[in-house]
Amino acid sequence: MSSVLIKNAQIITMNSREEIIHGDLYIEDDIIKQVGGDLGSETDQVIDAKNKTVIPGFIQTHIHLCQTLFRGQADDLELMDWLQKKIWPLEASHDEESSYYSAMLGLGELIQSGTTTIVDMETVNHADAAFQAMAESGIRCLSGKVMMDMGDDIPELLKEDTAKSIQQSVDLLEKWHQYDNGRIQYAFCPRFVVSCTEELLTAVRDLSKYYNVKVHTHASENRGEIKIVEMQRGMRNVVYLDKLGLANENLILAHCVWLDDEEKRIIKERGIKMSHCPGSNLKLASGIADIPDMLDMDANISLGADGAPCNNNLDMFNEMRLASLIQKPKHGPTAMDARSVFRMATIGGAKAVGMADQIGSIEVGKKADIAILDLFKFHTYPSYDVDPISRIVYSATRADVDTTIINGKIVMEKSNVKTINKELVLHEANKSIKRLLKRIPSIAKV
Ligand code: GUN
Ligand code: FE
C-alpha cells in the first residue's frame, strides 16, 4: 500500500455543493480516503501545500497525441486544407517510433499543465506505440486508432479497408481496454462523417454497444465540412449520426460549432457529450460554438485543446480562459463565468467519459487525480476577498502547476514530470519530425 498526505491546502472540491475548504487530504493507493481537517503526518509521502491550492485534475475530452510532432507545421489554414495539405500527409508518414515520441511530447505537456485524463484520437497506423506511451506516462485516458475508409485527397497509407479498420480497432481494444485497472480505456474513433462509410459507422455503433465503450468523433466543426456531409448524406452531421443510431450517451462529439436547432435538441435529448475546443475553433477559423445556449439547455459540455498543430498548445488554462472570453462580446459579461468554465474543465469532463462517480471532483472514495497549484505569485495576487476559481480561470497559467497526481501516483513534482524523460523526448521529437518531413518533400518548407 502507498499513501500520500497533502497538508494545509486550500481544496477546491467541485463536489455537488462546490465547497472550498482548508486542510489536509489523504490518499491511499489510488483512492482519496479523507478530505479536510488535520490528518497528522504518519504516511509514506507528505506534501506541504501551505499557500497552495488543490484542484481536481483537468479532463480534456478532445486530444490528438499523434499530431503533437506537427506543432508549427500547419499554421494559418482552414480545416479541409489543413487536413488535406498538411495533417493527413504528416499522419501518413508516421512510424512506430515517431508515434511514440509524438505521444510522449504531448503527454509531458498535458501532465505538466495539470491534465490528468484525456480523450485521445490516434492516427490510422501505429496506435499501439501511442498506447505504450500513455501506459508509461501514468495518464488516465480513453483512446483509439482513427478510422477512415473513404474521402478525397487521402494519402495511400491512411486509406483503410473497412473490415481491416474494424479488425485493427478491435485488436487494439482487446489489448488495451481496461489496462492498469481501467486507467486506459478504448474508444472507437471514426474520424468524421466525411471520411467514413455508412458501413463503417454502423459497425462502430454495434461494436460500441457490444463492448460498452465510447465513440469519439468530430462533427460540425466547419461550414465547408457540413456542406460535404449534406452533399454526401443528404442531411446535417448530428441528424445523420442520430439516424444511424450513434447519437447516444456514449458519443463524444468534438467541436459542434455550427449546429441548427434540431441538432441541438438531439444532442440534449440523446445525452451526447459535446467537447468544446475554443482554441482550435479560433485558430482554424472555424467559428465560435454557441455554448451559452447549450448550457441553458443543460447539455453536457467539456473542454479539449484538440491537436498541437491547430492550437498550438495542449493547455487547459488557455482553453478555460478562451471558453469564457470569446462568449462575452456577443452574450454579455456575465456569460460563461469562471465557475461555469471550471465545471466544464473538471466534473463536465468526468461526465463526458462516464466517470462522474470516480473522477472530476475531490471527494472521499474517488480516484486521486489531482493538481496542486502554487498561486503565491505576483500575477495571482491579491488573494484577499477574491473567488479562488476566478484566480484559477482568469489569472493563473500552466506554469503555476506544481504537482500532478494521477491514480494516487505523483507523476509530477515541483514541475518535473517523473514518468517522462524530458531531454530524451525533446531530442527524439526533433529527430522524428525531421525524418517524417523527409518522407513528404512536397509539404516541406523551403
Ligand atoms: N476533422 C477531421 N479530422 C480532424 C482533425 O484531425 N482535427 C480537427 N480539428 N478536425 C478534424
Ligand atoms: Fe480534432
pLDDT tens for 374-422 read: 999 999 999 999 999 999 999 999 999 999 999 999 999 999 999 999 9
Give the mean model confidence (pLDDT) for residues 41-68: 97
Handedness of CA 293, 296, 298, 304 (dihedral sign): positive
Ligand 2 mean position, distance from CA 261 (Å): 23
CB of 219 closer than 6 A to ligand 1?
A: no
- 105 pLDDT band (50/70/90 cuts)? very high
CA of 330 to the centre of ligand 2 (A): 25
Cβ of 126 below 6 Å from ligand 1: no
Which amino acid belongs to residue 92? A
What pLDDT score was predicted for residue 129? Answer: 99
CATH of domain 58-352: 3.20.20.140
List Cβ neighbours of 417 (8 Å cut-off, separation of 6 or more): 108, 111, 112, 404, 411
Q: State the average pLDDT for the chain.
A: 97
Can you point out the beta strands (E) in 193-329?
214-219, 251-255, 273-276, 300-303
Residue 444 has pLDDT above 80, yes or no: no
Residue 19 labelled as part of a binding site: no
Whether ligand 1 lies within 6 angstroms of the CB of 283 is answered as: no
- Domain parsing of the chain, residue ranges: 3-56+368-417, 58-352
Q: Report the pLDDT value the prediction gives residue 234, as an integer from 0 to 100.
A: 98
pLDDT score, position 41: 85
- Residues of 403-420 as b/e, b for ≥16 C-beta within 10 angstroms? bbbbbbbbbbeeeebebb
The architecture in CATH of the region 3-56+368-417 reads Roll (2.30)
3-state secondary structure (DSSP) of residue 185: strand
pLDDT value for 11: 98
Q: What is the mean pLDDT of residues 278-290?
A: 98
The one-letter code for the residue type at 33 is K
Does 218 belong to an annotated binding site? yes
Cα torsion through 66, 70, 71, 73, rounded to 10: -160
Task: Give the residue whose CA is nearest to atom 9 of ligand 1.
Answer: 306
Task: Tell me whether strands 146-147 and 140-144 are parallel, antiparallel or unpaired.
Answer: unpaired
Cβ of residue 191 lying under 6 Å from some atom of ligand 1: yes
Which atom, in ligand 1's list, is nearest to the CA of 286?
9
What pLDDT was estimated at residue 445?
A: 61
Q: Which ligand 1 atom lies nearest to the CA of residue 87?
A: 6
Query: With a 6 A CB cut-off, is 310 part of the ligand 1 pocket?
Result: yes
The pLDDT score that the predictor gives to residue 446 is 41
- 254 CA distance to ligand 2 middle (Å): 7
CA of 147 to the centre of ligand 2 (A): 13
Q: Is 155 exposed, middle or buried (0-12, 13-18, 19+ CB in 10 A)?
A: middle
Q: What is the 218 CA–ligand 1 centroid distance (Å)? A: 7
Q: d(Cα 277, Cα 314) in Å, to the nearest integer?
A: 11
What one-letter code names the amino acid at 209? Answer: K
CA–centroid distance for 394 within its chain: 20
At 160-187, the pLDDT tens digits run 999 999 999 999 999 999 999 999 999 9
E strands along 122-202, which residues?
Answer: 140-144, 146-147, 184-190
User: Which of 70, 77, 79 to mutate for ligand 1's pocket (most ligand atoms within 8 Å of CB)?
Assistant: 79
